[in-house]
Structure 1
Amino acid sequence: MAKSALLVMDVQRGIVDRFGEDGGYLPRLRRATEAARAAGTPVIYVVIGFRPGHPEVSPRNKSFGALAQGGGFAEGDPGAAIHPEIEPEQGDVVVTKKRVSAFAGSDLETVLRAGGVEELVLTGIATSGVVLSTLRQAADLDFGLTVLADGCLDGDPEVHRVLTEKVFPRQAEVTTVEEWASAQGAGR
């Protein structure tokens, strides 16, 4: 059986706050992290983060250009912190990225290869952002993929639905947090 890792992506205060309380997202995500740890599956947090002054952000970058002007997600920004309801525990890895995909500008692939990880379980905000970009790049890097559909959020529910029901199944298994978490317990 291939070694898996659970990726918790962009679940940072400043991002979660944009979505408000959606009726259970963070508790579901906590259920996934707890199930992963209990099964011995590494939990890897992926965060967006920049140096002060955002020297990594080109003004031509439509996604991050406005963010840089506002000073967001730089070192010391409280909004850049992982949401306290799902904070990493000892032994979890935190990877900082510089673009939308979890692999872009980070050492994620190095961490995964060093740990012998071949399968990724994806969660995060937003489905149409970090989850989509990471899924596409991970598939090109030959990782096996699972997406926890209710472990992802998007500002547009219809985009989330189309991605999780029509697009992601072409490259990944798509399931729920509870189904995945229950299977982790059965595998022990």
Structure 2
Amino acid sequence: MNTALIILDYIFDIAHLEGKIARSAQQVAERNAIANANLVLALAQQKDWLRILVKVGFTPGYIDQPKHSRMFGQTHKLGAIELDRPGTEFHPSLAAELGELVIVKPRVSAFYGTNLDAALRARRIERLIICGVSTTWAVQSTARDAHDRDYQVLVLEEACAAATPEEHRMSMEMLAHIAEIVTLENLKDL
């Protein structure tokens, strides 16, 4: 089955302890989420799966930032997630060189306002393996959108993190209704 790996928002501002909106960074570190993302990137390369790195960001000057958004409305005041700035660079620990395609998204889901679906359809992708930060927001939103677009959805639990262990656990419980929750060991057999 044609497979793609989608890794979400492992960027400095979100996933690094010194990031400007790094609510989940402590859990990213404690869960070794980026190390696990690197392992799945290497596995995906061996298996010739399409490898997609996704980052959220707004146009310089925040022209496309939704100021009314409870999630994104204050990012300009913090100087966070502005494209072409250090905060939207991939986390220095992420093996970003193993990615084949970078998608920049303007909202929570990797499908919203991007060419992700077109890129997947061009490669006749049927199955998506999704991981990233935060489990509560980007992973859930992207997994739900993928499900509704009729992809088979797998979520790599070991390479995800949320602001708290409880948020992560609850997200995984919810995602299990629309996706298969998998481990690195499970993926070796695909």
Alignment RMSD, CA only?
1.5
Residue 98 of structure 1: how far off its partner (Å)? 0.3
Q: How many residues align?
A: 181
Change (3 A) 1:57 1:121: same
Residue 52 of structure 1: how far off its partner (Å)? 1.1
Match of 2:189 among 175, 183, 186: 183
Residue 178 of structure 1: how far off its partner (Å)? 3.2
Match of 1:26 among 26, 34, 44: 34
* Counterpart Cα distance in 2 of 1:88 and 1:26: 11
Residue 7 of structure 1: how far off its partner (Å)? 0.3
The answer to whether the Cα contact below 8 Å between 1:54 and 1:71 also exists between their aligned partners in 2 is no
Question: Partner residue of 2:138?
Answer: 130
Sequence identity percentage: 30
* Counterpart Cα distance in 2 of 1:161 and 1:91: 27
The answer to whether the Cα contact below 8 Å between 1:144 and 1:172 also exists between their aligned partners in 2 is yes
Q: Could you list the runs of 5+ residues in structure 1 that have no partner in the other structure? A: none
Give the TM-score, by structure 2 length: 0.89
Deviates more, 1:145-154 or 1:54-63: 54-63
- Deviation track 1:86-123 (CA, whole Å, cap 9, x = no partner) reads 23336610000000001112111111111111111000
Change (3 A) 1:167 1:23: closer
1:142-181 to 2 correspondences below 5 Å = 142-164=150-172, 166-180=173-187
Question: Partner residue of 2:19?
Answer: none
Residue 149 of structure 1: how far off its partner (Å)? 0.8
Amino acid at match of 2:11: Q
Question: Partner residue of 2:7?
Answer: 8
Residue 179 of structure 1: how far off its partner (Å)? 2.7
Question: Partner residue of 2:116?
Answer: 108
Structure 1 runs, 4 residues or longer, greater than 6 Å off: none
Residue 95 (1) aligns with residue 95 (2): no
Residue 44 (1) aligns with residue 43 (2): no
Task: Determine which structure has the larger helix proportion and give its number.
Answer: 1
Give the TM-score, by structure 1 length: 0.90
